[in-house]
Structure formats: structure tokens, C-alpha cells
Amino acid sequence: MAQNRKINVQGNEIVIYKHESNDYISLTDIARYKDPEHIDVIIQNWLRNRNTIELLGFWEIINNPDFKPLEFEGFRKQAGLNSFVLTPKRWIETTNAIGIVSKSGRNGGTFAHQDIALEFASWISIEFKLYIIKEFQRLKDDENNRLKLEWNLQRTLAKINYHIHTDAIKETLIPKEVSKHQAALIYADEADLLNTALFGLTAKEWRERNGGKSGNIRDYAGLEQLVVLSNLESINALLIKQGLSQSERLIQLNKTAITQMKTLVENRAIKKLK
């Protein structure tokens, strides 16, 4: 199951999760609004209704090529009879339905595709359904806005990386050049090699100088530094394949960091992200 999202409808929390690229809304939470003591009974009573059976069956015929229409017709004929009982699990297993999903465990319950869930909400309360639609749309708008922001960020970073390869250094260097002593050291892990190339010190040295701070050196890096660090990781992998020693790689990585950092701090696009 994908990570759950939640909406708050008139003080009632309703869970929504992504199932095979579709949004499924918790029927359990909607039924809880009606009567928290008889949630399963409410859902089963809705399923016994002939109109509900037809809604579920026709939805499956349209959306589910593996649906079993003969079994659907069997339920359709029985719907409305006093002896007829139908549970979500029975409907799913008998007809191979996908519009309703039954989950067990801590985050379990009965979920339905948004088309079906909103019909259930309408059966519970027209007013409640309208509030669900409003909050659900607010959730989708927020998600769409985040996707646009992420796309714009990726696009800007792509432009920045292109700018790094085409621009030239104009002023003084940003990271300090590594010393002969630093170049001669043997670093226990490649992360510290990159830290030294970009920040001028290892993670341990940073902790010793910043004893009052939590986290590590990369947690306090600026956006420009993180962009360069990502590039250095790729370059370092290539240098390793070429068989260069740590000392040689450190010097080359440091030079690259100086060049790229200078370009980035002058780039207007990245300044707009801050």
C-alpha cells in the first residue's frame, strides 16, 4: 500500500491511499461518521441494495477486464431479498472486483475507488458527500502544486548544471585549495574525500569544530554546495574506474568544486530558489 494521505471532513479523519495510480477512499471512515459502533453493518447494508450492486457491477465492467459478469448477475438477482447478505470480501473474491479493496491490520479497513466511495458517501449523507468532495479537491490541488514545484526545481537544477559546463571562472576561488598535507592523507571513506574537496575538512573535523550542532556537515550545506556535491560523487566514480589514487582524485575533485561553486554563486536562477 502506498503512503496514506488524510483529509479532515467536518472533524472526521478520512484516509485516502494510492492504489495502482488511482485514489481509493476509506469507506470505513465514511461509515464511522454515520455510526462508529456499527461500521461493518452500515457497509453491508449498503452492499445489499440493488442500486449499489448495479453501480459496482457496471463500474467493474467499464474498468476491469477480469471482472466476472455472471457472478455479478447472480448477486444482482438476489439483491433486496431479506436473506441476501453481502460483505466486501465476498464481493471481491466472487467477482474478482477491483473497485473495492479490503485491507487487514493496523491501517486496514474497506476502501473504494473514488467514484464508488463518493456514491457511498451520498448514501450516508448528501451534505457529508459535498464536504468530502471539497476536501478531496483541496488535497488534489495541493498535490498538483507540489508536483509543479518539484518539476520547476528539477528544471532549474538542470539549467544550472548546463551552465556549469559552459560558464567560465571570472573571480576568486570559492572552496580553498587542498593543502599538500590534505592531499597526502589516506581517507577512510570516500565521503570524507568529497567533504575535503568541497568543504575543506572531514566529517570528524567538522564535528570537533561544531560540537554544539546536531547532524553532520552535509546537513548544514547550502543548495549550491549540495548541487556540486552530487556532481562530485559522479565524477569521483569515474576517476576511481580510471585507477587514480586518492591523492590525485582529491586534487581533481577540489579543482572541480572550486570551478562549479564559483559558477553557482553567480547564477541568478539558483538565487531565486532561496
| pLDDT score at 271 | 54
Locate all alpha helices (DSSP H) within the chain, ordered by sequence.
Answer: 27-34, 39-48, 50-63, 69-78, 88-95, 114-124, 126-166, 180-184, 190-199, 203-209, 223-241, 246-266, 268-271
Give the tens place of pLDDT for each residue, 28-67: 999 999 999 999 999 999 999 999 999 999 999 999 999 9
- Percent of the chain topping pLDDT 70: 85
Mean pLDDT of the chain: 83
Residue 140 confidence (pLDDT) above 60 = yes
Over residues 255-272, the mean pLDDT reads 73
Rounded to the nearest 10 degrees, how much is the dihedral formed by the CA atoms of 189, 195, 200, 206? -90
The residue among 29, 14, 3, 1 whose CA lies nearest residue 136 is: 14
Cα angle 271-272-274, degrees, rounded to a multiple of 5 = 70
DSSP class of residue 177 equals P
* CB atoms closer than 10 angstroms to residue 152: 11
| pLDDT score at 158 | 60
Q: Report how far residue 257's alpha carbon sits from residue 198's, in angstroms, rounded to the nearest whole number.
A: 6
**pLDDT class of 186 with cuts at 50, 70, 90:** confident
**pLDDT class of 161 with cuts at 50, 70, 90:** low
Q: Which residue has the higher pLDDT, 46 or 221?
A: 46
| pLDDT score at 190 | 85
Q: Report how far residue 128's alpha carbon sits from residue 123's, in angstroms, rounded to the nearest whole number.
A: 10
Give the tens place of pLDDT for each residue, 64-115: 999 999 999 999 999 878 888 899 999 999 999 999 998 876 777 899 999 9
Residue 163 in grid coordinates: 551552465
Q: Report how far residue 80's alpha carbon sits from residue 47's, in angstroms, rounded to the nearest whole number.
A: 10
Domain residue ranges of the chain, discontinuous segments joined by +: 5-144, 167-271
**95 near 68, Cβ under 8 Å?**
yes
pTM of the model: 0.51
**103 near 109, Cβ under 8 Å?**
yes
Give the tens place of pLDDT for each residue, 143-152: 777 777 666 6
**112 near 124, Cβ under 8 Å?**
no
